[in-house]
Structure 1
Amino acid sequence: MESNVRQSPRATVSLVSESAAVTPGQQVRIGLRQRLAPHWHTYWKNPGDAGSPPNIEFTLPEGVTVSDIAWPGPDRFLIGPVASYGYEDEIVFPMTLTVPQTAQPGTRLRIEAYADWVVCEKECIPEDGKFRLDLPVEANARAADESILAAFKTADVRQPQTAPWKALLTTDGESRLKLLVEGEGISAQTVQSALYFPETWGVLDHVADQTLQVEEGRLTLSLVKGQSFSSEPSSGLLAVTDGGGEKRWFALEVQPASGSAIGTSGMANTLALWQMALFALIGGLILNLMPCVFPVLAIKATAVASMSGSDHREVRLSGVFYTLGVLAAFMALALALLAVRAGGMAVGWGFQFQSPLFVAAMCWLMLAIGLNLSGVFEVGSSLAGAGQSLADRKGHAGSFFTGLLAVVVATPCTAPFMGAAIGSALAAPAFYSLVVFAMMGIGLALPFLLLGIFPAIAQRLPRPGAWMVRLRQAMAFPMYATAAWLVWVLTQQAGESGLRMVLAGAVLVGLVAWLAGLSQHGVKRVWVPRGLALLGLAGLIGLAAALHYTGPSEVTARQQTSPNAEPYSAERLAALRAEGKPVFVNMTAAWCITCLVNERTTLSTTAVQQAMQEHDVVYMKGDWTNRDPAITTFLQSFQRDGLPFYAFYPAGKEPVVLPPVLTQAIVTDTFRQ
């Protein structure tokens, strides 16, 4: 049985079942079926250097369960300097569906699914579709038609077998590895060629040759280390072609070999940890100066003003609680990134700003903070209270949440030194990632923490007075400006529908803030404004739920590009390099203020545009406003997970990475050199 079909010039995709009718308690295979146009391919769970594996989400009747994908063995596709793992022609991604014993014959099981996938030839194109299968429940099962059964058989031929061999992975110098596979049945007659597919991205250099040596009972593959190689155990598939040309895939549990090579690698990793931590600390410090942190600086200025006149102990505690807030936010981000990485999704620094729901929530929060600073309603201690002690619980809670907010708003920017540290941390073991993120938090919090440790600095602040009220009110305007910017970001992501919802939410935020202020100023029948405020909050929750299901806007779908820039694609980049063309790649996003500043002050200027023409530089631009696996893969190839990012590919030479803050001189000198 086959569902409705999602068809494009590149792929015909549907949801299929091996059975045309099922019985109560039966286990039946279903699968996402992809029939691809000639020369197009789709991806395995580790896509290699480009692409993204298919993802499928089910809506199932009560009692029905579906297993994970039983991934067929992939092939390797080499396109210039890029290698991908996946499938051509036709493939089914099989899953096992279990029918509940309570299913009644004569009824139907409605299986609904939403899937997204990427298909590539010279360019990579994301596609998606919604599918529905209505499986009849009958007393006797019935098989599907022959074409569907044949499609499942194609996937079955590729299903990996459990390898009856022992596999070890050893280091062979600084940049190379050796995969040793030993056991019965290995010989020059049974192994004509072999290729190793690691399940984890970045273990190997995917495009590098895998040199094979075969002895009786043993084969050795010489490999090149990838960017995220570690000495931890890994797993993967070994594709073996025998003397008759038959290809089979074997699942390997690859263990690291003990010995000095691994020990040396561990020592190198320890040194790398200290380097990553140092860069993270410096990056966190510099993050205080980045353009997108301006609203946070406004919050800090208000907090510093409120410390004026406080005793030394309270000043220190304020700095400590602010630092704890920063560290808590960084640890939460690190754990979230590690959890998503463990689930196989490619993510990067600032990834939360790729969610329209998150952007809208931050917009409403910035607006609420601005209304609070303007005096519409009160939260915690009033800054106008001259000489008010910070020793109460509310004061320290305010410092803590100021630190949390500082990290949340600051993440769209990646300071110098931070990009390499984040990329390395996310590719390293979890402990390394936590250490690096903690050091970034310390770097961001350090100026405010030093203010608390050395109270003599705080003593030089002006004395409390009416100026504090005016400062508080003035600090509301950076909040309003940030909210306005976030509205623009959401428009790029979700179009006019998203704009309508975020503006409606802004009106509700203003209403709730005003009603909260009324209830705080002693109005009669205080339950009336409080009840209306709760209704406003319920409306906000409804708008947030609607935003969660809002798709990308047409603006984002077209990939906003400058008139003189072409959209980024890995295949196009490879083709240009093969032609000997110099290429400048700009990775940007609507939520990255530093990116926008660089484009306005540098990349769009006459001097830089003329330099591109003089040196025949092709300008490519990638838009990461919404999640784009191809851009994520590109960034990870440089061990980066954040924006802005700029790379220049001279003709016939290795790429040059430019700093995140650009000047006209930096760019033009790079082209000239």
Structure 2
Amino acid sequence: MKIRRYLSILFVAMCAIAVSAQAQLTAIGDGGPGPVKAQHLTAELVTLGQTIAPGSTLQAGLVLTMEQHWHVYWLNPGDAGEPPHIKWTLPAGLTVGPLMFPAPSRLPLGPLMNYGYEDTVAYPFTFTASPKMKQGPVHVDALTDWIVCAQVCIPGKAHLGLSLTVGPAGAPIAPAGALGEALSLLPKPLPADAQVTVTGGKKQLAITLKSSSITNLHLDDVEFYPIDEEQVANAADQVVTATPDGFQMRVVRADEKEKLPKELHGLLKMSDTESYEFTAAVVPGVVEAAPVKQAAASGVTTLGAIGLAFIGGIILNLMPCVFPVLFLKGLALVQSSGEERKALRSHGLVYTLGILVSFWAIVGVLLILRAGGSQAGWGFQLQSPAFIVVLASFIFFFALSLAGMFDIGLSLTSVGGELAQKQGYTGSFFTGVLATVVATPCTAPLMGAAIGFALVQPAWITFAIFTALALGLATPYLLLSFQPAWTKILPRPGAWMEVLKQLTAVPLFATAIWLAYVYGSLNSGGAASPSEGVYKLSLLLGCFLVLAVAGWVLGKWPAKWGSFAAAVALIALALAVPLYQPKDTNLVWAPYSQGALDAARKDGKPVFIDFTAAWCLSCQVNEKLVLHAADVQKQLSDRNVVLLRADWTKYDPEITKELASLGRSGVPTYVIYPSAKDAAPDVLPELLEKGLVLDAIKRDAAK
């Protein structure tokens, strides 16, 4: 499901106050180094020694060990979350630096993305002793807080501390364990020879790294992590392409950012053990779209697509709308066999030029339309539901034509027939133009994959693929112009051509089915809401049905202006079915309070309470995919359910008490109090499904 532009802002808007709010939580621990066991993790402080000399430093770290499938957060948590914090109480003369963060990992959840750590992580920090600090034992006190998440998010807090000795420095201790590993994984400055430049486009940022010392790169492993929030779309794909002296990475800008950031601060993670931090000015410019991952995953490469286009262009000559042109021109070559061979070759080259110019004009129009579509929000092409609708509808409609429901080629042939009948080079040139015009609706096998690939590529690749298609279409006649005697092997036009045309509809129908599957997947929103994808898929199938009616109209009354106008109207209606987006009808949720709950229950009204927090990613996914769904909203409205939102972003003892009474300790938690005053609350699972919620509303609102 498409995520609203403001969603990532909502996730982090209140994270800044979560730390002070958690100060009211009960801390575990007795002020010692630990380890102490909290909910779903163990926390402890470790050092590389117990002695710190005056004027020197001592390396230490906070180590968090999570239970399986639980995670904590990096400096920038991503779409939701909060990194750990420590509030220090230090003796005079001793200072401590900020927490340092090893390179994180990407932690996806549905359509969103977190940055953080699983299993075990150490956050290093450094103690510094003043040169005048008195020798002897000292104690440092650390009030530590964190948020640990899986399907639910739970804030935690520990009272930790360290007993150190200020005295002569002992033998250095080699880093080891979790702290040693974390120190080795801290991002490093870029090598002296490395240079990072950032170009900012309308939708993407292009990060280019040039370096001779960073070698043995596996581009599939390279990842970018933004240190500053709200600059990039965290969950979007990052496309990396090799350059002669490094690589270029394209990352998608955050939707809510209208202006380019002045600089980009982040880290490039080259592998599990190597990462570099950088800050670079963002220079406005044009960022050309990179080849999308879907195309690579399907096995189509640029050279492969060019080859498929060339072969497809050759096969186009066998289509009923093209072959008569080729056959008649071949007979003309035989009849002109007395003409100088040089002149015949010139006619073949001019015919080829006519096809090339026509296809180049098509490419120009295509690129203009694609640029306009990008500004309108098509953005990621095959990742865009709107683009999938248009492309699938286009392919399905022309497959209907190939299958014999109607014939576009006959109408188009008459358009350029007179020009093609002219003598001399003008006639040869416009014969090429005519061949292009009548070939356009006759998509041949092997062309579908090539054109589909071309539609989502940079301009030069699109140009190259369509040029190969044009050369494939021109090749048979061009060869005949060099060897007119070969016209003897041409088969005569007949019924076999119609059968071949109908057979070519099969791969196009198969392509439309595959695109329908992609469309359903894009709208499914993950396993939490599969029914949304089924619903959207049914709308696309409805679009196909209306397109079939438009094809029937064209076939029933061919070459009529009235039928053409009716077909255009039906096509517009067909596209509107899946593309129409209804207005947001989200209901208003009132803030939770015990008084509001008691008042609603006293009036005999059912109450739905959403226990949530801005740093809880699962909460946001459930709200977007389930609670904001139109059918859920309708049920809540029709049954007059009182909606209360218990926002736990800022610690609230009243909410904590209510959670405890429900047997829960974290968010998300969802509960429905039935309309019957003495009925027990109905506590729903942490991961919601629409069917489950709808059943619960019907069940509890009727009591």
Give the TM-score category using the shorter length: 0.3 to 0.5
Q: TM-score under structure 2 normalisation?
A: 0.39
Q: Whose Rg is larger?
A: 2
Q: TM-score under structure 1 normalisation?
A: 0.41
